[in-house]
Amino acid sequence: MNEPAPTNEQPGRGLVVVAEDDTSIADLVTLYLRRDGFGVRVARTGTDALAAVRGLRPVAVVLDIGLPGMDGVEVCRALRAEDNWTPVLFVTARDDEVDRVLGLELGADDYVTKPFSPRELVARVHAVLRRASRPSSAALELGAVRLDRGRRRVWCEEREVHLTATEFGLLAHLMGNPGRVYQREELLSAVWGYAAVAGTRTVDVHIAQLRAKLGERTPIRTVRGVGYAADAEGER
């Protein structure tokens, strides 16, 4: 199969940068994304991926961790350091918690592990984009945290906190139902948009990142043996 030509076209669903050095995987992912109405720009190296995201302003990035030269971790770190919060879906060849946790700590929104179903990957891209654009105008306030769903901004004691689309969706869901205790599986379904097959560790990592960003005044608390809730008293 011939390598897909780079394109700046952005069909109705927007442009996705696919950062993947394996030609067969890049071709397959490109095929399925284009079938679903996305434009695609393929980047073979981390440096090219970073330049593509900066220059083309895609709606999402499918980012392989094992890129030559500047790897996917470095690309994601560079984007987040620039306050570029384009949704990132990490792809990893290593089925271990280290890559997954590291990717989420860097501000990735989700991950898939090779080998993966291209249909699942496209579904994950859709889920990430839904979290990034879920409409709502209501503002929420709980303890020291204020969340503006319309402008997708969060403050803690007047300090603005920058969150990924997934972190924002998770915090909004918890704050929108103060005091209610959610099991991890419920949060996966409501926020991520898929079932527990993804693994509840994903929820734990995002909760940890939210707490780290919000600091001591976080409204999120752990209910041991059950899950998580948000209330004015916060973590305890």
HSE (side-chain half, CA atoms, 13 Å) at 86: 27
Q: What is the token pair recorded at 219?
A: 């409204």
Domain ranges of the chain: 15-133, 139-230
Query: Of 3.60.20.10, 1.25.40.80, 3.20.20.70, 1.10.10.10, which CATH number belongs to 139-230?
Result: 1.10.10.10
What CATH number does the domain located at 15-133 have?
3.40.50.2300
pLDDT of the residue at 102: 62
Query: Mean pLDDT, consecutive 10-residue segments, the chain of 236 residues?
Result: 42 85 94 93 96 93 92 91 89 68 73 88 89 68 88 89 89 90 86 62 87 91 92 69
Across 10-28, b (16+ Cβ under 10 Å) vs e yields beebebbbbbbbeeebbbb
